[in-house]
Amino acid sequence: MSAEGFADPRGPARLELSGIVVDFGGLRAVDGVDLAAQPGSVVGLIGPNGSGKTTLLDVISGQVTPVSGSVRLDGRPLDRYLPEQRASQGVVRSYQDCRLFPELTVEEVLLLTLDARRPVGVVAATLRAPWARHAERDKRAAVDEVIESFGIDRFRRHQVVQLSTGTRRVVDLASMVLARPRLLLLDEPTAGIAQREAEAFVPLLKRLHEIADTTVVLVEHDVPLVFALCTHVVMLESGSVVSSGAPDEVARDPRALAAYLGASAEALAVSGPAAPRATRPTDPPGGVAR
């Protein structure tokens, strides 16, 4: 199976948010946000804690209903769609806590992702119907391919609970590729992992984007990672857009510097890729936890 085999035949989606407002009690978490992600683009959302980044992902995925505003996928309103209905349209969401089954092996987790998309009936599987055997071979071939693509073959038989946080993140990314996203929402994929492991995520996320052929909206505190990976960056503060544009434009924007980027002298240097040591896309961060 080629890399294109992981991509949804409908292709990457176009996302449009218009006038999104979200209130939690008396708190306005998102205040009139407009956002557009072109098919195949990587859009990064940055900003301080409480600026509304994760809430926007919740709105896009259907976990939160806005007070006003609209969400459109390829020009079609999603406002009445439940989260599972949005998932059927190719909207795939990650979470900061990396929600994998701890007692399953890496291979079992990835097979489960495919089973959720392409279930085989119990009777057909029990009777080993020819089409069921063919479907099972296809699933295992797809899992083998994604395991090789993300360089996690040595962890294939390890239970998820045995893995480091960084390696669990890589398994999570691999499972998202198998879900064939048209729009992939990533919520802080480097949260809670060591600095050395975080450096490996730029090539890993580039690899994910390449083989999944998807549109990505990324929430991340690692500013250098966002600037290295994204084609467009949106800076949020107190639920509103402060700056929006290409990474170099946002990096020079006085409003973004005042609101966030200039809040720490180290903000643009703490967590980018380490200069002398290149990390191969086939080397996942972390290892088996000891």
Residues 267-288: tens digit of each pLDDT: 455 444 444 433 444 445 555 4
Determine the distance from the C-alpha atom of residue 167 to the mean position of all C-alpha atoms in its chain, rounded to a whole number.
Answer: 15
Residues 33-85: tens digit of each pLDDT: 999 999 999 999 999 989 999 999 999 999 999 999 999 999 999 999 999 99
Q: How far is CA 55 from CA 5, 23, 62, 169, 240, in A?
A: 32, 10, 10, 21, 12
The C-alpha atoms of residue 126 and residue 135 are separated, in whole angstroms, by 13
Which residues, in sequence order, are CB contacts of 9 under 8 Å at separation 6+? none
Please state which CATH number belongs to domain 3-263. 3.40.50.300
The C-alpha atoms of residue 177 and residue 198 are separated, in whole angstroms, by 20
Residues 172-214: tens digit of each pLDDT: 889 889 988 999 999 998 887 777 777 788 888 998 998 899 9
pTM, 2 dp: 0.80
Residue 51's pLDDT is what? 93
The C-alpha atoms of residue 144 and residue 265 are separated, in whole angstroms, by 44
Residue 184's pLDDT is what? 96
The C-alpha atoms of residue 281 and residue 76 are separated, in whole angstroms, by 36
Which run of H or of E encompasses 141? helix 130-149
pLDDT higher than threshold 50 for residue 126: no
